Amino acid sequence: MMLRLSELTESFRISVTALRQNLMRSVLTTGGVVVGVLLVVVMGWTLKGLDSVWEQTIGILGRDMLYIDKWHWGGGGNWRTMEARKNITYEQALRMQERMESAEYTIPVIQRWGGSISFRNKQVMCSVQGTTADYGNTPAGATEMGRWFSGIENQHGARVTVIGHGIAKTLFPERDALGKVIKINGHPFTIIGVVERRGFVFMDFIDNQVFIPIGTFQTTYGFFGKSFSVAVKAGNEKLMDIVRDEARGHMRSIRNVPPGSEDDFSINEMEAFDQQVASIRYSIWAVGIGLTVLAFVVGSIGIMNIMYVSVTERTREIGIRKALGARRSSLLVQFLIESSALCVIGAVIALPIAQILVGTTYWVAHSIFNLEWLSAVSPFIQFDLLLIAIGVSVVVGLMAGLLPAVRASRLDPVEALRYE
């Protein structure tokens, strides 16, 4: 039979009174629960932050982009097999550009790792990208100031450059980069644009790139021994399957891949990194869950022991209540409320500590270490994490208090009244 509201209210009142009479013991008992709630909240905040950062990165780089390359980005495949592939030549990249019909843009790209960039007495090493004017129409080429180089500048091999956000911040921390002349591989280049900040976490290298016209790249570094990439912008994520199939067919034809043979190139998309991010999430989740379970087990054992002590100390009280007509269900609910309240106290203690920890971490990373990608992460604990923490605490309390509560409800009133 269900408890009446009056009985439930009375059980709650008695539980609160018992906790207040032993307040210090109650607080000290919640140590394991405090640690468990801290881990739940901090782990949840970390995973939500990682998801926010990654989604912002994907949004900037574009899920409607694919890149045809000699190498596979995701780390899959045999390295020696990919190394043995023939380079994608400039002529092949141009033929792809001519043939692609379903794509919005098809753009040849060539890259030089470890390029030397200098301005006065400052020097940085970065990636130098040679490409065309169309690259400025992709999410990866969007500028926060200035402009992209034009088709005419590309044709005439103009010594102009668009630099990444990280390069601009390093070379020109307190001034406007536009119009400044930097040296790339010893040659003077005029900065005409700065690309928006795009790199986050393990992809911050994206901000440390400079872009120059592809013709200028040829006179600066040459094409010999280098493999091109072909950046393809579908224009709509729904068209990705069509664009991918067309691009694969054209590249196989251009590179004379025999029917039935494997591709001697890779088609890379941003999904290649999704597995890596998922792996990081799983690692954080696995470690966090393991530590959280351990903390809650320790906490629940402590609460269970304290509840057994409480039942023993209040044996005569239980006997009197039973003699006056208290039902077993009332006693059961009373002790379950008491054990759950202990865990909720632990959560109430842990949540402000968790917010201080999260806020301090955010402030240190953003203000001292200047990690700008943290702008995608909230410095506050999300409301759903608060509800989860309190809910888990109540469940742990119910489980920890079940056996002591059953023992209290089954005490014989006669034996309980004789207890000294």
Q: The tokens of 410 are what?
A: 């089954």
Average pLDDT value for the chain: 86
Q: The tokens of 46 are what?
A: 């970390």
Q: How far apart are alpha carbons 263 and 23 in whole angstroms?
A: 71
Q: The tokens of 91 are what?
A: 């002529």
Query: Is 9 a residue whose pLDDT tops 70?
Result: no
Task: Quick: pLDDT tens for 260-306.
Answer: 899 999 998 877 677 777 888 888 888 888 988 889 998 899 899 98
Q: What percent of the chain has pLDDT over 90?
A: 41
- Of the candidates 258, 229, 298, 279, the one whose C-alpha atom is nearest the C-alpha of residue 72 is 229
Per the model's pLDDT, the better-predicted residue between 74 and 182 turns out to be 182
pLDDT for residue 203: 61
Query: Is 338 a residue whose pLDDT tops 50?
Result: yes
pLDDT for residue 369: 61
Phi-psi map region of 302: left, alpha, beta (phi>0 left; psi -120 to 50 alpha): alpha
Question: pTM value?
Answer: 0.71
Per the model's pLDDT, the better-predicted residue between 116 and 371 turns out to be 116
277 close to 52: Cβ distance less than 8 angstroms: no
Query: Is 238 a residue whose pLDDT tops 70?
Result: yes
Which of 78-82, 193-197, 359-363, 375-379 shows the lowest per-residue confidence on average (mean pLDDT)?
375-379
pLDDT for residue 193: 96
Sequence-separated contacts (24+) of 365-374 with Cβ below 8 Å: 372/197, 373/53, 373/197, 373/199, 373/200, 373/201, 373/204, 374/49, 374/53
Query: Is 11 a residue whose pLDDT tops 60?
Result: no
Rounded to the nearest 10 degrees, how much is the dihedral formed by the CA atoms of 170, 176, 178, 180?
Answer: -70
Query: Is 111 a residue whose pLDDT tops 60?
Result: yes
Find the mean pLDDT for residues 365-375: 66
Query: Is 5 a residue whose pLDDT tops 70?
Result: no
pLDDT for residue 276: 75
Write the secondary structure of 137-155 as one string of H (helix), E (strand) and C (coil). Answer: HCHHHCEEEECCCCHHHHH
Query: Is 255 a residue whose pLDDT tops 90?
Result: yes
Task: Quick: pLDDT tens for 169-194.
Answer: 889 988 889 999 999 988 999 999 99
Give me the phi and psi of 103, to 5 degrees please.
-85, 150
Nearest-5° Cα angle at 386, 380 to 389: 130
Q: How far apart are alpha carbons 294 and 289 in whole angstroms?
A: 8
pLDDT for residue 74: 66
Find the mean pLDDT for residues 356-379: 76
Query: Is 363 a residue whose pLDDT tops 80?
Result: yes
pLDDT for residue 317: 85
Task: Label residue 420 exposed, middle or buried (CB < 10 Å: 0-12, 13-18, 19+).
Answer: exposed
**Per-residue pLDDT band at 133 (split at 50, 70, 90):** very high
pLDDT for residue 96: 96
Query: Is 89 a residue whose pLDDT tops 90?
Result: yes
